[in-house]
Amino acid sequence: MKRSTTIGAIIASSLGAAAFAHNGATGVVLERMNGMSAMKKVMGELAPMMRGEAPYDVAAAQKGAATIMAHAGGNMVKLFPEEAIPATSYAVPALWERWNDFSDLADLLASQAFGLAMAVPNGLTAPRPASPLHDMGTMDGMADMSGMADTDALPSQELTVAQLMGVEPTADARASATVLPEERDNGVLDYTAMAAPAAFEMVSQTCAACHSKFRRGS
């Protein structure tokens, strides 16, 4: 049963890949599609692990982090030469108009993937409650990032009125891609003291930030 499911999945994914090839992407567009797909695959595989649903596999998680690193930063931006955007591409013109924003996000992704690799051995919970991500919150805030499978740690119960009303930033927002790289990389993030799911979510925030700015559709 398990085996047939796996085979089915393999066939499904190869058909899926074939479907993309038939979309007609070629050259550099196809290359970046492949890079994005490789990262997507990693995110899809690691997410259940980071939620505590699938067995935690240090080696697989580190390999995944390495895959993202390999497709981020300079390796990503070099696949986006300025040219007329072919219909097969999901890139939007803003990507070249705001090139620095894009390349900052690509670099940020590389450093966060490196951070993820450092945080992976910590597993689902932080080794000590020292994450700077929560210096604005209470101890309860740790629960949210500790990756206790749950998304359930009720983060907003710790959010203040000012945070909910947008008057003050949340601890999360300060770690996200909406913060300037120099503020963020100011040595305040100690990945060795971070739960792996927290580092993993930072990677996803960067993916989301880049997709919302520079990808067509959703």
Residues 6+ apart with CB under 8 A from 32: 76, 79, 80
| Shortest distance (Å) from residue 38 CB to other proteins | 9
Least distance in angstroms from the C-beta of 162 to other proteins: 7
Is residue 62 within 8 Å of residue 47, measured between CB atoms?
no
Closest to other proteins by CB, 128 vs 203, is 203
Q: Which is nearer to other proteins, 53 or 128 (CB)?
A: 53
Q: Which residues bind other proteins (CB under 8 A)?
A: 4-5, 7-9, 11-13, 15-16, 19-20, 29, 32-37, 39-45, 47-48, 51, 53, 89-91, 144, 149-157, 159, 161-167, 170, 172-173, 176, 178, 201, 204-205, 207-213, 215-218
Residue 175 CB neighbours (<10 A): 23
Nearest-approach distance from CB 118 to other proteins, in angstroms = 20
Q: What tokens were used for 217?
A: 């559709």
Nearer to other proteins by Cβ, of 29 and 117: the residue is 29
Report whether 40 contacts 32 (CB < 8 A): no
* Two structure tokens written together for 89: 């591409």
State in angstroms the smallest separation of the CB of 178 from other proteins: 7
- Toward other proteins, which CB reaches closer, 58 or 162? 162
> 95 or 118, CB closer to other proteins?
95
**Nearest distance from residue 44's CB to other proteins, in Å?**
3
Shortest spacing between CB 209 and other proteins, in angstroms: 7
Euclidean distance between CA atoms 194 and 116, whole angstroms: 9
Q: How far is C-alpha 97 from the geometric centre of its chain's CA atoms? A: 23
**How far from 54 is each of 44, 67, 81, 189, CA to CA, in Å?**
12, 20, 39, 27
Which lies closer to other proteins via its Cβ, residue 189 or residue 198?
198
Beta bridge partners of residue 215, listed in sequence order: 91
Distances (CA, A) of 145 to 33, 123, 217: 31, 12, 30
